[in-house]
Amino acid sequence: MRNITVEQLGAHEAMRLKEIRLRALKDSPDAFYYTYEVESEYSPERWLESVKNQDRAWFVATQDGTDVGLVGGRIEDNGDGHLFSMWIAPEARGRKLASLLVDVVIDWTRERGATRLNLWAVDDNTAARALYRGKGFLPTGQTALMRDVLPESEYFLSFLFRTATLADLPAIVALIADDAIAADRTGSYGEAHLHAFEAIEADPNNELVVAEIDGRVVGTAQLTYIPGVSRNGATRLLVEAVRIAQDLRGHGLGRRLMEWCHAKGRDRGCALVQLTSDKAREDAHRFYRALGYAQSHEGFKLPLD
């Protein structure tokens, strides 16, 4: 990474953007929606508008004074970030430049208050998909045909949700216990919860996740990936212990948490997601039905102590 710099293009660098963008389109025509033939006909005013747009940024990686990488970021009308037009010159590949440029767009998006960063990747581009997955991007399940020919899929990175750490555990227990139904059976934070967290952390098929806003843990869920022989060997995602802080309920955070959990299951190859909910939780039942869940089975539980 020696002699590598990354900089945001300024409003006076429209022709610099044009030069590196057209080089990218010539080098990797199947990686982009628009073609060299289309963009080479853009007017100077169009290139200028692209670098002057306050909701858009272009970042260039330079090696020894030569531009060798490009990526764009923009803020959509809904407030989400969008990463696009990633390209690394052939002579600079294999030096983690793409990873560096993704990090720059992530930081730029966060600074603008977005809670999510989206992108599309061509399905055949296994290197790009591996890079994005390594950064924590998850598949949304949305697919398309770029230029009606190349299959591509949408991915997203959430800035609200993450895997829980030990430091989160007291807040997680408090969220689960802040409930008339679960309070008695959850108890106060203690050694039993610590042992349970250690067991979850050691099990690759279990994951405790949290929602965090401004440093505060405001939601949680436990995910269990269950391999099975039934359904032709399908893996199921089980979602349990879903909680959102009471002062944030009704604002869409629970829906976003569940959509993120679904994406985690999709990323693990799960064929379906299932959950149980106490019969007394009528509000929760309406919430899950609104997400598309069907109350297709009767659940049974038997205490073993």
In a domain, residue 109? The reply is yes
At residue 4, the pLDDT reads 87
Cα–Cα dist 117/82, whole Å: 5
At residue 94, the pLDDT reads 86
Number of domains in the chain: 2
At residue 147, the pLDDT reads 87
Cβ pair 85, 70 in contact under 8 A: yes
In a domain, residue 303? The reply is no
Domain that holds residue 11: 4-158
In a domain, residue 299? The reply is no
Q: How does pLDDT run across 197-215, given as a tens digit for each residue? A: 999 999 999 999 999 999 9
Max Cα-Cα span within the chain: 75
At residue 2, the pLDDT reads 60
In a domain, residue 154? The reply is yes
At residue 101, the pLDDT reads 98
In a domain, residue 137? The reply is yes
In a domain, residue 276? The reply is yes
Q: What is the mean pLDDT of residues 62-88?
A: 96
Q: How does pLDDT run across 165-179, given as a tens digit for each residue? A: 999 999 999 999 998
HSE-CB for 106 with a 13 A CA cutoff: 14
CATH number of the domain bearing residue 137: 3.40.630.30
In a domain, residue 78? The reply is yes
- Non-local (6+) Cβ contacts of 239 within 8 A are 221, 222, 223, 258, 261, 273, 274, 275
Do 119 and 214 share a domain, yes or no?
A: no
Average pLDDT over the chain, rounded to an integer: 95
Task: Read off the pLDDT band of 182 (50, 70, 90).
Answer: confident
Burial of 258 (0-12, 13-18, 19+ CB in 10 A): buried
Domain end call among 113, 143, 158? 158
